[in-house]
Structure 1
């Protein structure tokens, strides 16, 4: 008997494997190839979100795992995060932009022109 309703966990695992399999070449310390690889992979993830194959939260989770498990993705993401100031504003898919801005925040890098439209939620400390 085939189960038509695949669980969120199975869809996320399948999406992770699909993204790993589609990771483009990043070259050897090649800035353009690394940034292009990040953009291409996040566009694939955005397509998966738009076609309701995965959720945006699942995509962010997959990217987080890939940062630890896929050195090519980690290198591409870091190069993109460090070069974000020189990259055009409308180059990234929504999920790609969301993730790269989060990476920059985690690295304590200054905001860029990409963050202009972003709404940052802060928690107020209770005394």
Structure 2
């Protein structure tokens, strides 16, 4: 486990993903085994009442998780939660951001709580979430 200086309350970070492509969505479907036609078949998506193909929710959640662990360390994560708020479409660019909301001393380090958000460039919040990390400190 890496040793770093613990973040402080109010620290922020962000990362942009995209624009997302149909290929990105289909590649995630292959990796996850989620082959729901709403995520790769335009006719099926429209027949179900949608404007077209849209992203798998867990793909967006995975991007949130990637951001969080790249920021504060995959070896440090203890839990992550996500709540889907809005669909993500091919062509969307997503901005994932995090804000440190609490830092508590813990044996050999700090427990760090983070609020997470994923927004679409065309408006709207796609995912809200939170994470908890244990950061071994110097």
TM-score range, shorter chain: under 0.3
State the TM-score, normalized to the length of structure 1. Answer: 0.26
Q: Which has the higher contact order (CA 8 A, sep 6+)?
A: 2
Q: Which one has the largest radius of gyration?
A: 2
State the TM-score, normalized to the length of structure 2. Answer: 0.25
Counting helix residues as a fraction of each chain, which structure ranks higher? 1
